[in-house]
Amino acid sequence: MEFFRIRKDIPFMRHAVTFNVISLLTFLLSVFFLVSRGLHLSVEFTGGTLIEINYEQAADLEKVREGLAKAGHSDFSVQNFGSSRDVLIRLPLKAEQNTARIGESVMQALTAEAPGANLRRVEFVGPQVGRELAENGALALLLVVVGIVLYLAFRFEWRFSVSAIIANLHDVVIILGFFAFFQWEFSLSVLAAVLAVLGYSVNESVVVFDRVRETFKKTRGLTTPQVLDHAITSTISRTIITHGSTQMMVLSMLIFGGETLYYFSLALTIGICFGIYSSVLVASPLVMWLGVSREQFVKAKRQIEGANDEGAVV
């Protein structure tokens, strides 16, 4: 399915150096912000207090947040838990905080703004649990990267594998850089979005690489930059359809999903935008510079001796 078809190939590779310089600068800025500012980790990673409350009717989460904010709480998380009547509140760990009375103070704060709440449980989550979650998240990211590398190396060639993983890790670091620069809360849902972006971005790289391989096999006389330009140009319509429809869904979550889905959808929005850029304008030049050529996809013909005077080839 195509909205349109571009008859003349766009010379993307002519500007390959410019694209990659922009990408490198963005990457270095993201690393700088990660090192200098760090991530604003949520309660799941840093430890804190979990409070579960119940209402007889559907809970108004905005009023719950307003009550906590007026009581002086900050960096908290409020979301439905199981049903629209059950609410889970996460409060960060503070040195001056009396954990034994935190449940009572939260209930007092909600009485004025969101009355009718019944306290179900109060649990303390230590930083050790948060450390385990961070380690497991890093392990999950590493396993995804290794899986993508092996898949691309098996399906295409090591040049494509290296190029795709560099481009996709570039997306991940830039997402983290945005969260470090603006000090947005980095939670488990954001980590899930980062892993989703990593898999989503590689899909675009696979589509372009598959068209590169097909063009090498079917067309003679084209240089490697021309083959890459043709592959990218011929998949532009598909890219617009796929990423456009995905972005509309993500934007709907960003605008109408509320605070619970806000940072999750924000991470996906950043990842999709940079994923298109890196998959097309970063991975493809890297493949070219690593020396991909037609000979790597087309088997050389072998001449059979003694078949006839001209020789037979297979």
Residue 148 token pair: 């993508």
Structure tokens at 230: 């043709």
The answer to whether the beta carbons of residues 114 and 60 sit under 8 Å apart is yes
Per-residue pLDDT tens, the chain, 314 aa: give them: 566 677 788 899 999 999 899 999 999 999 999 999 988 888 777 778 888 898 988 888 888 888 888 888 877 888 887 788 888 888 887 665 666 678 888 888 888 788 888 888 888 776 655 677 778 877 877 887 788 778 877 877 788 888 888 888 888 899 999 999 998 988 888 988 988 888 788 888 888 888 888 888 888 888 999 999 999 998 888 888 888 888 999 999 999 887 778 999 999 999 988 888 887 788 899 999 988 888 877 765 555 555 555 545 44
> What's the CATH code, domain 48-125?
3.30.70.100
If you write DSSP's letter for every residue of 166-216 in order, what string do you get? HHHHHHHHHHHHHHHHHT-EE-HHHHHHHHHHHHHHHHHHHHHHHHHHHHH
Which CATH code for domain 12-39+130-294?
Answer: 1.20.1640.10
d(CA 276, CA 256): 24
Residue boundaries of the structural domains of the chain:
12-39+130-294, 48-125
